[in-house]
Structure 1
Amino acid sequence: MARLYTKKLAEALLSPCYGFTPYRRPALRFHTGISTITSNEVEVKRSAEGELQKSSETIMRISNGSVELVQGSTYGSLSNDIRTDVIDSVPHIDKNSFENYIEVPRQRFMGILEDESLKLFHNDLIPFKRYIPGTQSAHHYPLDILPRKLSMKLSGDIFVTTYSIHEKDYKVENGRRIRLSAIPTLKTTPNEVLLQKLYGRNVILIVFSGDLPHSDASGALEWKEAIDLDCDTHILLNSPAPIGASYFHKKYINSLATALVEKNDFSCILRKLTAEETIAFHQYRKQFASVLLLDKFGYIRWHAAGKPTREARYLLKEAYEKLLNEL
């Protein structure tokens, strides 16, 4: 009897939150309850004579507790060629690992932890990557780009502070922009509406919460490096200041911004988000960095949480290219 009461209470409390996901759905139902490459799949590149092109290269060798530089033999750019082939090749898409639901982590209500997760059904058109408990790999991403009618839009009342390098850190000499300071001077632009800031262009938004070990800045930069696209990419930190620790939190934000702004567009949300807004950004798992593909109207057309995989990178690239072809 107590279990039935807890389940009904969970459904009543969570239903409004689940409604605000990156995906619209006609009905809502609750149920309780990496590709690998073998050596024979890699084609070794050879010269016109059929032999590998041999060259020499200085390499580091460690022996007997000492380090020395020696001339070693390598075979052209074989490793780079293989790496490029692997990255550019189409990965095997395991469609059996996609489901028509997103599994929501177990929740605690009134001190009682549900012993089973909830499976949220969104639609029967586009399946989502199943989450495997205990793994860090990307999950919850759709197999295809979501139609706008099934997508949710960014909230219009989310304000961010954007950080950039101050103009005084540069000078123009002979038509060239020269950096004057090794440590960038931060320029802050507070109280920007995130939706207005990104409106009018297709953007890949990388979101992290700062939570260790998988949702810190390195997790966001891992996604940034994995995205092999010529596109607008923006890094967003969702980290409200703890009560009574605003001074130290501000120093933490400034140190992060100092490390990121030279090569990245970086903003920070400083207020606490609602449950619906948090779900939209983090897809139920705030402990991972996440990536959102936004169209020019601010609709979330593709979403993933967790560390990038070849499959996730490929599907994101496919979704972005389809988005570019939309009117």
Structure 2
Amino acid sequence: MSVLGIDQKLRRSFNKLKSYGGTDKEPDQNENTDSSIFLQTFLHHWDSCHQTFINFESDSTQVQDDVINVSAQLEQMIELLKHESGTCSTNSILDYILSENVLGELSAWTKSLPSSLVGSLINLQIDLYEILIMDKERGISLLSHQTILRPLISILELCEALGIDEIEAKLLNLIYDLSTLLIESPELIELFLSSSSTSKRLILFSLLTPNLHKTGLSGQRAREAVLIYISMSCKHKIVENLIAQSNFCLILATGLSALFSALPSSLDVDHPSWHKLDMSDCQMIPELDSMMTSFELCSAVVEVNRIRRWVFISLQLMDAP
């Protein structure tokens, strides 16, 4: 269902927004009206989701229909939040999300579903978090709210447990964007820590390491985000310790070994004077391209820490089987 199809008031509201242009003629009253209509429409969609949660039966034949319905409602809720964030000075929808645990209910219901049905829902929730943190100053502030932080971590943990390819690209983009917020406010790192009997771990970093050697944009995003933490480790002891306690170096080294094994054992050479590989050959040999990309990552990791007294990363790389 289109958001604009809910009622004529909302259509008129959108038309008003378009007519504002560069003028400053009485924007306050119009903005308040728009914000109120956005919120009413948001509540309409949220009520549909909420009723689905209340009446949900996990063994019902209607589970897939419930997922489709909630996904459709959530799409419209995201669009409304996006419009309010971009066009209104008030934050009625955001205030409601913060006060009524909307994200907590969404994540809890998502976790109750069969893993085969959650991909689209998780992607939509990732979209929602991206809107919330796209403004750095606001994003840093929102992460301190438990009604934002707890469901966010819950979704991240679910992503880690399921390992669904469908959500990989958006998940890595979200982790990268969250990581850039941690650069601005390192004190937020503690919010994403979880402890076991033997060590602590940072879930954002843990989600990155399995993607270090992947090809394409997802692998590139993961490597860029990892370098953020490697760089932060030069200034923040907590990050240094987290990396040291993780399986990062093992994955980095064993990945190189696997990529080396995948290199072709022979090459078809059509020129008698050819005697060495160069970077242009990477375009013709995908396996070589993957290997060189991982070499560049290793080089960057060691280079970032070159001026540090600790060199555990390079040592572990050399000692890894």
Q: Sort the TM-score into its range (normalised by shorter chain).
A: under 0.3
The TM-score with structure 1 as length reference comes to 0.24
TM-score, length of structure 2 as denominator length: 0.25
- Greater relative contact order: 1 or 2 (C-alpha under 8 angstroms, separation 6 or more)? 1
Q: Between Structure 1 and Structure 2, which shows a larger proportion of helix residues? A: 2
